[in-house]
Structure 1
Amino acid sequence: FTSEQPVTITIDPESTIGRPATPSVIVRTSASRPGYKPAIPASRTYIFAEKVKTQSWPGGNWPSMIINGQLIDLDMDTEVVKDPNYSGQIVSSLLGIPSISIITDMRNLFDPASGIYVNATGHGLEWERECSTELINPDGTPGFNVNAGLRIRGGWSRNDDFPKHAFRLFFREKYGNDKLRYPLFGDEGVKEFDKIDLRADQNYAWSIGSPNNSMVREVFSRDTQGDMDQPYTRSRYYHLYLNGMYWGLFQSQERSEARYAESYFGGNETEYDVVKVNTENNYLVEATDGSLDSWQKLYNMCQKGFSSNSDYFKIEGKDENGKPVKGGEIMVDLDNLIDFMSVIFYTGNFDSPTAVFMENKKANNFYAIDNREDRSEGFTFYIHDAEHALFDEAHSPGIGLYEDRVNIGRRQDNLKMEVSDLSRFHPQWLHFKLSDNPEYRIRFADRAWKHFSDLGVFSPDSALKRLNKRINEVDPAIIAESARWGDSKRTGAPYTKYNNWIPEVNKIRNRFIPLRTNIVIDQLKQAGLYPSIQAPVIRTQSASLNETDVILASPLSVIIENPNSSGTVYYTINGTDPRKVGGGVNTGTLFSLNDINLDIKASTQIKARVLSDSKWSALQQVNFIDPDEDYTDLRITELHYHPPDLISGPDTIDGQDLEFIEFKNVGNNSINLGGVIVDSAVLYVFPEKTLLPPMQIYVLASKPKKFFNFYGMLPSGNYQGNLSNAGEEILLNDPAGAEIIDFVYDDSSPWPSGADGEGFSLSSAEINPAGFPGDFSYWTLSVVKDGTPFADNVIAEVIPPDAGESGT
């Protein structure tokens, strides 16, 4: 109806005059005026939970059975709704989590020629339809109401024998909102989105008749990647209503693509390459954003192999000794790759990043993202669609609890992993080829030891805590999902919460999680990716301190002991690894055949390994952090305040982009820089728990990407603003605001003029300076043009330290 005046509408859920008998009433409005385009429609959904219990075919233009072979299932199952175990809980289940309502023209869904639900294999903009979508929070807090584009999402689940399809929402200006501006994931994620997925469990879903529905397998894997401090995609649970009909339990998910990368990592979406598998095109690898050029380059490196250190370290832009080189390029974030593969190995995911369904010969279910304009980062990898995971029993072709995804490259049967060409190249093949190099194997072993330890993400306690968090979130909604889809494709009793869901999640938490950790450790040992000897134990008289940050309230007596029957403990307190590249002992490393007793009175970083029969244990590291730090030994040792503009090929590098400030710890103990602030011409806050070990250096740069491209090294941090070419104040304060360093530099005589746009930096005249940096005599010119970041001002090779890192 129309009205020229504001109107009040009374909604009677019992009335079906002018509408189908859906359990929700939808009010959709627009405004118009002669000579103007109609306003973009707005919608509101009013859900009557009691009515949802009796949902069935509502009449009107709703389909009743099958269109284009697509099964249409609309009913709530009366066996569940009337079951005494559940009948009194249906409404509370519907109100247990937030709801999303999608409203669109019925033809957009079910028209035989153009409806996306009954032509679910359709892809692209051609198969996007206008809709309105609302978030309705049961506690009454504000949600959102926006117009969007709607598509079907998924791969195999697009087939018409899947009655419950997943969706993707696109936010575009033509619909009224160029972005969704809402904190979908609270403080966990960004607050603006170009698109969002509404995924549904598919491979083991009640909607396709599977008894193994858990609603937690897939998201557990992505949560684990996030708990490893790696980038990941976030999710929340929702009930979904489609044109007023309850459609069951869904899950929001971010999409790993260029816009996601721009949101979390900065830059512009056009700078990113995104690599994934096209399941609609014979599982060929493709670039959904950017190109495959860098992926091709990485594949070529794999073809050559990584057995030599020169080939291995090249992937990180380093020379054969593991030292950065000018002009180097980081092709892969190796720690990210290791952690990605560790999630695959632990969960027993047999469908990613290669699939046993395809005899481990084709790629599947992974995303890789790289900023091609930034040579300092390389590809990162993202867990995706991890439903074939966390099984304690065999589910063909998976074998359950003892699933071994670690050693598929060494199998001697038809399931041996192989990659024939670029179109099949995936991150596990990259990992497999890298494993030929001992430096990669020790790096993998170090991270595996950390993550599979008693405090690691794969310890039974940590894994169970992560799993239970998701179980507790989705638990309130399971009864409603059972009533909606528990009878789908069933001739017998429907799947229910107590008979099916709880036993299924209990298999994961009572059998898989308690046993899986040690099973995977054995598999990693077989592959040479887990040390055969145990790492040192760092402890007090009463407690283990392994892999922790210890806040020093008072002096602490610490013991480093060897838990093995043989071998020698090697340790350092200067920030370096006891093991050097090639397997020898690093310079400055201390050792003992017996237990080591240390009295820790100041900030200290201990790194320790056991060496036995030429085999190293994993690295054990503990940071002792003094909250009342003494900054007496912190010095500023280099200031590149006026780099000249430079010509590099066809490009000009703005000199401001190469500015940097260098600090050095000239003392004998580590310095806790956490919370220290550079607050003057430029601004930088040192991250919490940042330790700078003795004689190590911390470099702040104006533009990290430009710094890496020019120097071949990553700066320790990135300050905001720029230094004045004419001189100004440099102020360093402790977390309480007390002054640590405060001086003014100058570009006029008697200050060294060569630092003022002539290519040299201001460098401390002494290697370990003791004077006042506001005095010109404190400074000299760098021994080479462009300065010597991460190094003393002497003619020597530049080696960035293993310093300034967090203890975790």
Structure 2
Amino acid sequence: MKSFLISVTCFLTVILNYNIIGQNNTTLQPPVFSINGGIFNVPVSLSITSNSPDEKIYLTSDGSEPTTKSYKYNSPITLNKTTVVRAKSFLNDTTSSNTITNTYIINNPTDLPTVSITTNPPNLWDNDFGIYVLGDSAETANPNFGANFWQDWEKPIHIEMYEPDGTQAFSIDAGVKIFGGWSRAQPQKSLAVFARNTYGTGKIKYQIFPDLEIDKFESFILRNGGNDWSYTLFRDGLMHTLVRNKDIDMLAYRPAIVYLNGKYWGIHNIREKVNEHYLASHHNVNPDSLDLLEGNATVIQGSNSHYKALLDFISKKDMSQQLNYEFVKLRMDVDEFINYTIAEIYFGNTDWPSNNIKFWRPQKDDGKWRWILYDTDFGFGLFNQGATHNTLKFALEANGPSWPNPPWSTLLLRRLLLNEEFKTSFINRFADFSNTIFKAENVKKVIKRLKTGIEKEMPEHIERWGGDIDNWNANVAKLEKFADERIGYLSGFFKDQFKINSTLLVYLNLSDATAGKIKLNSLELNSFPWYGFYYKGNPVTLTAIAKPGYKFKEWNGIEGGNKETITLPTETAFSATAVFEADSDYTNKVVINEINYNPSAELDCEDWFELYNTDTIDADISGWIFKDEDDAHTFAFPANTIIKANDYLVVCRDTAKFSLAFPSVKNKLGDFNFGLNNGGEKIRLFDWNLGIIDSLTFDDNSPWPVEADGTGATLALIDPLSDNSVATNWMASLNYGTPGRKNDTGTSVDETDNNKPEKYFLSQNYPNPFNPTTTIKFTIPHVETGHAPSLQNVTLKIFDILGNEVAVLLNEKNPGGEYEVNFDGSNLSSGIYFYTLRAGSYIESKKMVLMK
């Protein structure tokens, strides 16, 4: 057996054109490797076979494309260290196969995912067209503008990703560019990876970020840490992680190890790439119908006319007038803007707001502007005085320099703060975040977790790129110091800016921890007792939210506290307890809707069942219990388990096997550690007090559908509003069932007429603002009772801002369907109005603005 590694010098291949995108037209089948690439703790013995004995296989190990001048494969080879092997079959000099690339990571275990990039070496290092080098046109001063790595050049690559356990995530041909701003000048550079049809596939079909329910990517970034490259490597990732559960368009973060043509290239952070595909994945919008801007309304995609009109309105109108502010709220997502701005201010990002700012809207009548958080590397005191920096004043500077905070970049915040509602929300949002995600102990926990995530890898990374582990630890300690001090300083800046005398304590509790929760401003609180500090004179809003089976009774500690939602002036500290009581009128809305009790051998997904929430509001089933006939067989639903209105939840015996069988199903959880009886049995669903929610006994004999017993079909409830304890209300599904979506046999959830609406929905009126006419659209779901659709009492009424009824547009019994009603406000004065739709138990109101 020959050693492949000692012959590496023979593999250098001369390629005349290194910039060919994709592979040449071929007629041969590619060679077959005995072992695919991966992570190994022992040497690998590799055999490669061709499709025909007349074909010759040629190999390279330096990343170059094999030719007939490369190393000729004759017998198995031994790989003793990390190596990238590229192989190609040749019949003669003109007839060849596609190239197969595999990377073997040997004796280099890691807790991080591994990414291997392979390309012809000149694509990286050639002085004329290599993207990783200076070239002949580079300026000598940092960051070497004009260098090759500043050019918008894309080179073909093969890229593989492996999970820490060695599982291959994907292996595709793709393209790569150097990415970033001034960090391009660092020895280790950021890379942007692109999947394109030109290379063979237009999408990377893999869930790259485990916590992100997106499994298709057109591109992603391998980031070197940006300006934080020689400091901690995770500063930007930290800031995005802190706000990941807030309504902010932020970028997922996952550190990884990169190999470049088989050579260790150190830690890179896998990040989402900000483009139209990112927005489409996160917001289910059409990527070709977006306005995406940056900086001072510079167009990346679409148009800036809508934004410029909005900015002109904000600049010229009196923002203290509520009517004008209501108009603004129709054009921009004000809540998201507040979240985004508070985050940047807390971070102390001084490479903002004129730089690193992007914002977007879907090109729809009701499309609103949202802001995207990215490149926050200057935050957490990288290049300024740290926790003591008054970033609030900085973000409100009316006469700042051209960088980083010129007047145009602070105008939006300055003008909106003239409105009392916006100012109250802005101050409260800072307090909300200060008491939760930006609380020092929480921030330091995240810092510790991210530090631990790459700590084992840092020595090898430092050996490759230089630095010092003690210096790295010292820089991480600076992040922790910032976390300890930041809120104290920033709270003082808020008090000074808004002339607030002091903070005061808010203490909240529940009469029964299982009965509900409390919403405080933007926070949904689930753990009690809870306390936080808020600003004197800035009103706060409390909402008591009862769990199913309970109802709100009163607020203890608050005079006149008999309404679920109350707004308090916060002139003094206060303590309030939300009191709930059992709701005797409660009817369960969550039902067992599909059962897979005996999966077929062809699809090894293990047992699972599906719950469906028939209600028009979300169902919190945290703490609920599922059991079969054996009381010892118990599955408890974890905290924060929510089934959205008219939505599904799949509960799996083995989520790993289920995910392999149904990779697109995201609304799932598990594992329950017992099986469902193949011969039928009783299954039960209880609430947190062991009150029965749903119960049925299924069987594998008629009248229960026998096709569900081992053939692949499931038991599927025909109508989720029917009695699921009756066998004739079930049918066998087609194929392998429909976990997480409508049953393929139903009449109420899955109508044969796809045009029948299934949910209540009240649209925003259009146009809005209007003068004097506007259109209101709504849908009523079809509900079958017997042989005819039922009629529902439907009212649509208009109210003024004081709650006075000013018009009745509809008051009649209607079947399910889509409706459109015109409203003429000719006889009304300009102002804010509300329209309210009532249909059965469904009630929803929306705001509209009449501007004459």
TM bucket, shorter chain:
0.5 to 0.7
Q: In structure 2, how many angstroms separate the alpha carbons of the residues matched to 1:792 and 1:513?
A: 48
**SS in structure 1 of the partner of residue 479 of structure 2:** helix
For the pair 1:372 / 2:384, whether they are aligned, the reply is no
For the pair 1:447 / 2:437, whether they are aligned, the reply is no
Q: In structure 2, how many angstroms separate the alpha carbons of the residues matched to 1:778 and 1:532?
A: 55
Q: 2:305 pairs with 293, 302, 306, which one?
A: 293
Relative to structure 1, the CA distance from residue 439 to residue 201 in structure 2 (aligned partners, 3 Å threshold; closer, same or farther) is same
Deviation at 1:298, TM superposition (A): 2.7
Code of the residue aligned with 1:800 in structure 2: it is K
Match of 1:609 in 2: 568
Deviation at 1:467, TM superposition (A): 2.0
For the pair 1:406 / 2:396, whether they are aligned, the reply is no
Q: In structure 2, how many angstroms separate the alpha carbons of the residues matched to 1:567 and 1:302?
A: 24
Q: In structure 2, how many angstroms separate the alpha carbons of the residues matched to 1:549 and 1:4?
A: 56
- Aligned partners of 2:209 and 2:254 also within 8 Å: yes
Q: 1:193 pairs with 198, 217, 224, which one?
A: 217
Code of the residue aligned with 1:46 in structure 2: it is Y
- Aligned partners of 1:531 and 1:617 also within 8 Å: no
**Aligned positions of 1:464-475 closer than 5 A:** 464-475=444-455
For the pair 1:790 / 2:831, whether they are aligned, the reply is no
Deviation at 1:214, TM superposition (A): 1.1
Relative to structure 1, the CA distance from residue 801 to residue 627 in structure 2 (aligned partners, 3 Å threshold; closer, same or farther) is farther
Relative to structure 1, the CA distance from residue 419 to residue 366 in structure 2 (aligned partners, 3 Å threshold; closer, same or farther) is closer
Relative to structure 1, the CA distance from residue 623 to residue 293 in structure 2 (aligned partners, 3 Å threshold; closer, same or farther) is farther
Cα deviation code 1:232-255 (max 9, x no counterpart): 210111111111121111011102
Match of 1:386 in 2: 376
**Aligned positions of 1:104-115 closer than 5 A:** 104-115=119-130
Match of 1:758 in 2: none
Q: In structure 1, how many angstroms separate the alpha carbons of the residues matched to 2:580 and 2:769?
A: 31
Q: In structure 1, how many angstroms separate the alpha carbons of the residues matched to 2:358 and 2:535?
A: 41
Q: Which has the higher contact order (CA 8 A, sep 6+)?
A: 1
Q: In structure 2, how many angstroms separate the alpha carbons of the residues matched to 1:419 and 1:514?
A: 27
Deviation at 1:595, TM superposition (A): 5.3
**Aligned positions of 1:708-719 closer than 5 A:** 708-709=765-766
- Aligned partners of 2:835 and 2:847 also within 8 Å: no
Deviation at 1:568, TM superposition (A): 11
Code of the residue aligned with 1:449 in structure 2: it is A
Code of the residue aligned with 1:389 in structure 2: it is G
Match of 1:24 in 2: 82
Q: In structure 1, how many angstroms separate the alpha carbons of the residues matched to 2:280 and 2:207?
A: 17
- Aligned partners of 1:40 and 1:176 also within 8 Å: no
Match of 1:477 in 2: 457
**Aligned positions of 1:220-299 closer than 5 A:** 220-277=238-295, 285-299=297-311
Q: In structure 1, how many angstroms separate the alpha carbons of the residues matched to 2:299 and 2:274?
A: 12
For the pair 1:433 / 2:415, whether they are aligned, the reply is yes
How high is the sequence identity, in percent, across the aligned residues? 18
Q: In structure 2, how many angstroms separate the alpha carbons of the residues matched to 1:723 and 1:704?
A: 7
Deviation at 1:439, TM superposition (A): 1.5
**SS in structure 1 of the partner of residue 226 of structure 2:** coil
For the pair 1:99 / 2:99, whether they are aligned, the reply is no
Code of the residue aligned with 1:222 in structure 2: it is H
**Aligned positions of 1:320-359 closer than 5 A:** 330-353=330-353
**Aligned positions of 1:646-665 closer than 5 A:** none
Q: 2:497 pairs with 527, 532, 542, which one?
A: 527
Match of 1:735 in 2: none
Cα deviation code 1:207-232 (max 9, x no counterpart): xxxxxx11221111111231324332
Cα deviation code 1:461-512 (max 9, x no counterpart): 22222222211212221111111112xxxxxxxx322x11122212222x21
Deviation at 1:611, TM superposition (A): 5.4
Code of the residue aligned with 2:286 in structure 1: it is N
Q: In structure 2, how many angstroms separate the alpha carbons of the residues matched to 1:529 and 1:134?
A: 56
Q: In structure 2, how many angstroms separate the alpha carbons of the residues matched to 1:451 and 1:226?
A: 12
Match of 1:146 in 2: 172
- Aligned partners of 2:512 and 2:580 also within 8 Å: no
Relative to structure 1, the CA distance from residue 347 to residue 143 in structure 2 (aligned partners, 3 Å threshold; closer, same or farther) is same
**Aligned positions of 1:696-775 closer than 5 A:** 707-709=764-766, 728-729=782-783, 745=789, 762-763=794-795
**SS in structure 2 of the partner of residue 474 of structure 1:** helix
Q: 1:129 pairs with 155, 160, 184, which one?
A: 155
**SS in structure 2 of the partner of residue 102 of structure 1:** strand
- Aligned partners of 2:293 and 2:301 also within 8 Å: yes
Size of the aligned set, in residue pairs, is 585
Relative to structure 1, the CA distance from residue 226 to residue 681 in structure 2 (aligned partners, 3 Å threshold; closer, same or farther) is same
Match of 1:44 in 2: 102
- Aligned partners of 1:349 and 1:389 also within 8 Å: yes
Relative to structure 1, the CA distance from residue 18 to residue 338 in structure 2 (aligned partners, 3 Å threshold; closer, same or farther) is closer
Relative to structure 1, the CA distance from residue 574 to residue 145 in structure 2 (aligned partners, 3 Å threshold; closer, same or farther) is closer
For the pair 1:800 / 2:846, whether they are aligned, the reply is yes
Cα deviation code 1:32-51 (max 9, x no counterpart): 679998554231112344xx
Deviation at 1:124, TM superposition (A): 10
Match of 1:116 in 2: 131
Q: In structure 2, how many angstroms separate the alpha carbons of the residues matched to 1:675 and 1:434?
A: 33
Relative to structure 1, the CA distance from residue 703 to residue 301 in structure 2 (aligned partners, 3 Å threshold; closer, same or farther) is farther
Match of 1:314 in 2: 327
- Aligned partners of 1:452 and 1:517 also within 8 Å: yes
Code of the residue aligned with 2:564 in structure 1: it is Q
Deviation at 1:545, TM superposition (A): 6.9
Deviation at 1:518, TM superposition (A): 2.0
Relative to structure 1, the CA distance from residue 292 to residue 411 in structure 2 (aligned partners, 3 Å threshold; closer, same or farther) is closer
CA RMSD after TM alignment: 5.4
Q: 1:461 pairs with 427, 430, 441, which one?
A: 441
Match of 2:474 in 1: 503
Q: In structure 2, how many angstroms separate the alpha carbons of the residues matched to 1:568 and 1:371?
A: 33
Relative to structure 1, the CA distance from residue 605 to residue 479 in structure 2 (aligned partners, 3 Å threshold; closer, same or farther) is farther
Match of 2:623 in 1: none
Cα deviation code 1:109-164 (max 9, x no counterpart): 111111111258568996101000111233222322111001000111224xx211
Cα deviation code 1:78-120 (max 9, x no counterpart): xxxxxxxxxxxxx56xx23222111001111111111111258
Relative to structure 1, the CA distance from residue 182 to residue 294 in structure 2 (aligned partners, 3 Å threshold; closer, same or farther) is same
Relative to structure 1, the CA distance from residue 472 to residue 630 in structure 2 (aligned partners, 3 Å threshold; closer, same or farther) is farther
- Aligned partners of 2:30 and 2:88 also within 8 Å: no
**SS in structure 2 of the partner of residue 519 of structure 1:** helix
Deviation at 1:542, TM superposition (A): 12
Relative to structure 1, the CA distance from residue 250 to residue 122 in structure 2 (aligned partners, 3 Å threshold; closer, same or farther) is same
Code of the residue aligned with 1:342 in structure 2: it is I
Deviation at 1:562, TM superposition (A): 12
Q: In structure 1, how many angstroms separate the alpha carbons of the residues matched to 2:176 and 2:617?
A: 55
Relative to structure 1, the CA distance from residue 19 to residue 287 in structure 2 (aligned partners, 3 Å threshold; closer, same or farther) is same
Q: In structure 2, how many angstroms separate the alpha carbons of the residues matched to 1:783 and 1:621?
A: 43
Code of the residue aligned with 2:393 in structure 1: it is N
Unaligned runs of 5+ in 2: 1-10, 12-27, 36-42, 47-58, 64-79, 135-145, 547-553, 590-613, 619-640, 648-717, 722-737, 742-756, 771-776, 800-810, 824-833
Q: In structure 2, how many angstroms separate the alpha carbons of the residues matched to 1:112 and 1:570?
A: 63
Code of the residue aligned with 1:27 in structure 2: it is V
- In the superposition, the TM-score normalised over structure 2's length comes to 0.58
Cα deviation code 1:164-200 (max 9, x no counterpart): 1110000011111111111100142311000111111
- Aligned partners of 2:249 and 2:372 also within 8 Å: yes
Cα deviation code 1:345-394 (max 9, x no counterpart): 111111122xxxxxxxxx1012212112251x411112211111112xxx
**SS in structure 1 of the partner of residue 233 of structure 2:** coil
Relative to structure 1, the CA distance from residue 515 to residue 730 in structure 2 (aligned partners, 3 Å threshold; closer, same or farther) is farther
